[in-house]
Amino acid sequence: MKKVVDHVKEFRRKKPERFIDTVPALTGKLAPGISVGSEPTKPMKDKIMTLANKYLDHKSANALNNSGVSFGSVRAISFTICSAMTEADKDYTSGRKTYDEVYNKNLKYVFHQVGIDAEKPYRNLGDNLELDVLQD
């Protein structure tokens, strides 16, 4: 992967007009306009669909089942599931905890269940994607 990243950096140096400086959310920034993210594995795809069927309404879960599953969609679906869980959480509905407190707890749970590293959300749990190895 290092060779690919180095090639992209060199291309950016030669043709900076082809790049923007920002990178997509939840990706690991390597340089201005260059970032990485781990694609979901088959077990991750299966788990996110299981959680969607459990926590989302039937229509939403079916729509997700019929769409592709990618780095971004697994994380977006995780946020959607987390929102649904938070809205139904007794700690939130009773007022014992704020929405943000409950949401953050639920997001860590969902990320863990799906296999996303909550501390480094560009990574899947167990993969070896490390930014410092790819950066100059």
CA gyration radius, the chain: 18
CA angle (111, 115, 117) in 5-degree steps: 65
Give the range among 21-30, 75-84, 96-105, 122-131 with minimum mean pLDDT: 122-131
Beta bridge partner(s), residue 34: 31
Say what the pLDDT of residue 116 is: 94
Mean pLDDT computed over every residue of the chain: 88
pLDDT at 77 over 70: yes
Q: Cα(136)–Cα(132) distance, rounded to whole angstroms? A: 8
Q: Cα(48)–Cα(77) distance, rounded to whole angstroms? A: 7
41 within 8 A of 52, measured Cβ to Cβ? no
Residue among 89, 92, 66 at smallest CA distance from 77:
66
Q: What is the pTM of this model?
A: 0.80
- DSSP code, position 36: E
Which band of pLDDT confidence, cut at 50, 70 and 90, is reported for residue 134? low
Mean pLDDT (whole number) for 7-36: 91
Give the range among 1-5, 39-43, 73-77 with minimum mean pLDDT: 1-5
With a pLDDT cut of 90, the percent of the chain lying above it is 49
Q: Cα(30)–Cα(38) distance, rounded to whole angstroms? A: 14
Say what the pLDDT of residue 70 is: 86
- The residue behind tokens 């089942």 is 65
pLDDT at 130 over 80: no
Q: Cα(54)–Cα(21) distance, rounded to whole angstroms? A: 39
